[in-house]
Amino acid sequence: MVDRNAAVRPAPALLPALGAMTLLQALVAFALFAPGVVAPRAHIEVWQLSIFSCAVFAVGIPASFWGGGFIARAGSLRIASLCAAAIVVAMALAALGSTAALLAAGICLGLAMGPETPASAALLARLVTAERRTFVFSVRQTGNQIGAVCGSLALPAIAIAFGPAWCYAVVGLCALLAIVLFEWLRPAYAVKLVPPPKLDLRARLALMTADRRIAMLALASMPFSAMQVSLNTVFVTLGTRELGLSHIEAGMALACAQAGGLVGRLGWGFVAMRLDAPRMVLIVIGLGMAFCAALLGLDGGSLSRTWQFAIAALFGLTASGWNGVFIAEIARLAPQDRIGETTGAVLTASYAGLLVAPALVSILDGVAGLGAAFFALACLALCGTVALIWGGRANASA
């Protein structure tokens, strides 16, 4: 069930809820970036950052899968407050600086990352019309880019001027202010809560597998997520090692990719809304990211600088721009009283892609090189795209 009973009274305004849920995702991304950004000043090693990231995703997977039931009972904005509180605790732990503290911080942040997208889907799905759903969900997904940009620009300056602890303090303070906002908005969206019956593990899995269209979305999201996290984490290394770029040039190319991702999250949502064809848009996105990864991995070094930057922007447009259309399509296909649970179940597959991708890329890099790793990711993304096509045709013939 969605988190409130819309039949009791007219739905409240969309924009405050959209802004609040976009802020929540931005906060999660802001916190996720913090340890990596302060690492040089705080003397945090790469292996410690890996422990932090693995803890976030390892906890985020079950938190997303099981969080839908809590959303249906507590309401999306109360869940948003709890997620923000988890961010505050995570930043307080990270400020301690030890490996154990970073591990504990990752666990707390995973508790925030897992439920935030299902909570947003459950709230926004009942406030937006079907015609605008894809674009609204795409706007909401820009929170990830907003948080990443804020973390990349603001936190290094704070770390240099005041020290690493102040970076964590700033993120925690933003989360505290967000709690005040979420609790202030909550009464406006509160109606009598009618929790649906609890679902066991088999019933939750059935939400994802009963409809082949949803199952294929979950399957495709694994390589799509793997591509996205690889673009964000190792593209600079690909640029310096395989594409012949300097460190600064590789950073600029990644900036182009991030800008492309921000444009993509809005642009793809608008296109899907205008064409009323979200699955077709996802297929085009999948083909685009596969093409970019294969081209850069196999022959990117032979391209001119202009083309390398252009392909990087197209790479970001596709590999970082698919999320909003994806979440909106889940909300459209899910049982309308189980949007939160269905979104959480499907995102479990997405987060599995995030968790496995770093290890897969590392293994392939050691065996055949980073270019070959990106070509393998391209092949997996192409398989995910084929799954989307097959799922769509199965529905058409039903």
Task: Tell me the average pLDDT across 297-301.
Answer: 92
- Asked if residue 159 and residue 243 are part of one domain, the reply reads no
Give the pTM. Answer: 0.75
Domain membership of residue 226 (yes or no) is yes
Per-residue confidence (pLDDT) for residue 1, from 0 to 100: 42
- Asked if residue 260 and residue 137 are part of one domain, the reply reads no
Domain membership of residue 37 (yes or no) is yes
Per-residue confidence (pLDDT) for residue 342, from 0 to 100: 83
Q: What is the CATH number of the domain that holds 38?
A: 1.20.1250.20
Grade residue 395 by pLDDT with cuts at 50, 70 and 90. low
* Cα distances (Å, whole numbers) of residue 259 to 29, 265, 307, 311, 312: 16, 10, 16, 12, 10
Per-residue confidence (pLDDT) for residue 68, from 0 to 100: 66
Is the pLDDT at 298 greater than 70, yes or no?
Answer: yes
Per-residue confidence (pLDDT) for residue 194, from 0 to 100: 56
Per-residue confidence (pLDDT) for residue 46, from 0 to 100: 59
* Cα distances (Å, whole numbers) of residue 89 to 85, 106, 177, 293: 6, 10, 14, 38
Per-residue confidence (pLDDT) for residue 11, from 0 to 100: 55
Per-residue confidence (pLDDT) for residue 50, from 0 to 100: 72
Is the pLDDT at 3 greater than 60, yes or no?
Answer: no
Per-residue confidence (pLDDT) for residue 117, from 0 to 100: 85
Grade residue 45 by pLDDT with cuts at 50, 70 and 90. confident
Is the pLDDT at 7 greater than 50, yes or no?
Answer: no
Task: Tell me the average pLDDT across 256-285.
Answer: 90
Domain membership of residue 360 (yes or no) is yes
- Asked if residue 252 and residue 347 are part of one domain, the reply reads yes
Residue written as token pair 């939750």: 204
For 200, the 3-state DSSP assignment is coil
**Cα angle vertex 268, ends 254, 122, to 5°?**
105
Each residue of 99-128: pLDDT tens digit?
Answer: 899 999 999 999 999 889 888 888 888 888
Per-residue confidence (pLDDT) for residue 114, from 0 to 100: 86
Is the pLDDT at 47 greater than 90, yes or no?
Answer: no
Per-residue confidence (pLDDT) for residue 343, from 0 to 100: 81
- Asked if residue 325 and residue 258 are part of one domain, the reply reads yes
Of 199-203, 334-338, 376-380, where does mean pLDDT reach its minimum?
199-203
- Asked if residue 171 and residue 22 are part of one domain, the reply reads yes
Per-residue confidence (pLDDT) for residue 6, from 0 to 100: 41
**Cα angle vertex 297, ends 291, 300, to 5°?**
90
- Asked if residue 159 and residue 231 are part of one domain, the reply reads no
Task: Tell me the average pLDDT across 196-221.
Answer: 78
Dihedral pair phi/psi, residue 4, rounded to 5°: -140, 155
Domain membership of residue 2 (yes or no) is no
Q: What is the DSSP string of 79-101?
A: HHHHHHHHHHHHHHHHTT-SHHH
- Asked if residue 294 and residue 175 are part of one domain, the reply reads no
* Cα distances (Å, whole numbers) of residue 192 to 3, 20, 82, 189: 10, 21, 20, 10
Q: What is the CA radius of gyration of the chain?
A: 20
Domain membership of residue 4 (yes or no) is no
Is the pLDDT at 8 greater than 50, yes or no?
Answer: no
Each residue of 138-196: pLDDT tens digit?
Answer: 888 888 878 877 877 788 888 888 888 999 999 999 999 999 999 999 988 875 555 55
Per-residue confidence (pLDDT) for residue 97, from 0 to 100: 84
Domain membership of residue 246 (yes or no) is yes
- Asked if residue 153 and residue 216 are part of one domain, the reply reads no
Q: Which range marks the domain in which residue 81 is found?
A: 14-182
Domain membership of residue 282 (yes or no) is yes
- The 3 state secondary structure assigned to 31-72 is HHHHHHHHHHHHCCCHHHHHHHHHHHHHHHHHHHHHHHHHHH
Per-residue confidence (pLDDT) for residue 5, from 0 to 100: 42
Grade residue 42 by pLDDT with cuts at 50, 70 and 90. confident
Distance CA 269, CA 144 (A): 15
Distance CA 398, CA 394 (A): 6
- Asked if residue 264 and residue 147 are part of one domain, the reply reads no
Grade residue 55 by pLDDT with cuts at 50, 70 and 90. confident
Q: Which of these three, 145, 167, 182, is where a domain ends? A: 182
Contact criterion met (CB below 8 Å) for 127 and 14: yes
- Number of folded domains that form the chain: 2
Domain membership of residue 130 (yes or no) is yes
Supply the mean pLDDT for the chain.
85
Residues, the chain: 398
Is the pLDDT at 36 greater than 80, yes or no?
Answer: no
- Asked if residue 240 and residue 163 are part of one domain, the reply reads no
- Asked if residue 212 and residue 176 are part of one domain, the reply reads no
Each residue of 343-379: pLDDT tens digit?
Answer: 878 888 888 888 888 888 888 888 888 899 999 999 9
Grade residue 251 by pLDDT with cuts at 50, 70 and 90. confident
- Asked if residue 88 and residue 23 are part of one domain, the reply reads yes
